Structure 1
């Protein structure tokens, strides 16, 4: 009888032990799942900080006077940190989205580049430099978007996967959170890149980075000062809980730009020859390309050689120092290099010549009806149709083109895309391995 009870007890023990193990395994599975979600969140947040700092920590020194900034100009010989602030819109080019960071850095080294010879002030609202960033392009770049979201639509109800942080305070703040300042008259967006805690886990400091005149701004506030910052001007602290839902189809990995690997790698800038737009850059067909033969190390230049692919387009003997201007009627990828006095070859500048255009069905388009936007391109893929409305600054819808759209040479604009009547505009955006070009046309919605 005792032996029988012992066996029964043993069976009961084994059953209970198995049950406990099963429960433990189930808990472990839930913990692993939660950990995977947490790790995924931490991964994009870590990238957001890394990418934000590509733009905010870069150092550069103008080689000439005249590079415009808010209420003045950057000074030659003075080192600056962070890319310049300029709302270039469709006229200039956004650093990171339209050009590489290294293209900007090459233009800085050319005293005859567009940074010194072009001024968008008065031509484009809130713009100065031909190359630049603004708060929304800066945060959108950090948050791995293929094109910027304007600051006023970073949060709900305009984006999914984002919510208001319940406690609007330093103690609740996490890396990757965004801070929205509502319009007065312009809105603003910032990103949290560091949260510092004491040994007891209490937050002591919060670092916020942003694009701000004259370059980027990096502010590490105490918890108390951060709370005061949030409390002023009706600011709101938002948390992106699902990055893919927040970005929707606007994902950097779907496009050639932003190119974080190129932007984070220290470039070797050509000391013999640079273009008016720097280096590694696309030009619109018919647009003049200005070569500045600088020969900064006084090696002596025998020949300037311009090639399209492997074919020599032109050889210019004894070009001397200074500007040589050419217009190229054939689209393609080009290089230009110099043969030096000792027959060595300089570093080559790289650029492309491209063509893109589009047609609207009419100057007036009926609201609530679908229509075709027809386009053409050469040496550049059309990727985005970006709309803006004079009547509603929050209405800035984008259409991402498919391979089928490109094959057909047109994209269908759905009936519900444009709701606001009045003046509107569309930017057609194309890209290739050197960057993006934008062309703009206005129309009316009736």
Structure 2
């Protein structure tokens, strides 16, 4: 295993001395990939703005019977609290914990500052979620120090820019860098130089390989492969019998081989939010208010990403878990909550009435385009004024959680008020495959 007590200079020398040589003796510069992962990002963000919580056990999530944990402080993780766990279960494990309502606009604001800091160190930055990114440091190292020194500078820059701790994993590729950042937590640096790849991987339990689920690990162990080194040494045809098409990819990872490039621009195809009710709903007015609330969440995130959407999609789930989706193309690309809500409500009203009891409702904005290319000039001054008001709310709510909003969402029966009382689960939102509601921060 990599010895973190070894001096940084020694580890850097090991990495340099292990550089492969091309024909004729010229050295080939190895790739140096960093994986930056913020430490308990949502928890850290809440503690940043609420200093009185810095030493308190903290859960970030909507406090409702069907809600899940977005993130938990490290002291609670030791008690078994983890992301995606029902909040009710987490509270039973840690009844002394504070449950903080998520503030996604604030998290996006902090994320923008983090990514801007990383891009000052390397132009090759691939953001994979609100709180993590890959960087290719290979070119950035010239004359700027060792990988570890650049990682230390990276962490210091993030803390100076946004006041939050980050962990960094260093390795020759993305797969190993991701595993290294997990070893670096909390608030540290972990390096896997090229010469130490097999020393790190070979004894690793098969279930700890990134991307290997419990079922796959169980099948491999039953077949006699309990470590990554054993899998790396296996004959490809033997592994293929167990894993089929995924065998070759996993075998390559077990050998530390991952040629995936850094993708500097990742196009978001959609933005969405959905809401699970604490009790099934039949009242149309409540459903329409919920859609307006979701529309504001989606529109706020679209404006933060400088995106307009052309298609609004409605998702609705009945009490028996039957789920329906409907969509409508807007007259023009939009990021205005009122327009998104009107389209979604129209889609819902077009369903056979009366509606069965509703368990979940969601709104998604699809076919996203950059705001500068898709925006058409509006002749409706009322519409422009409404959008300006929404942008003003964005700026206020980024600093003060839900401080302002439409009057129709502030009544006792509104989704926002019911969440404050703990009657309902909250919003699971984010682009496909990157939902803060589906995964917790590290």
Which structure shows the bigger proportion of residues in strand conformation? 1
Q: Which has the higher contact order (CA 8 A, sep 6+)?
A: 2
Which structure has the larger Rg? 1
Smaller-chain TM-score bracket: under 0.3
Report the TM-score when normalising by structure 2: 0.23
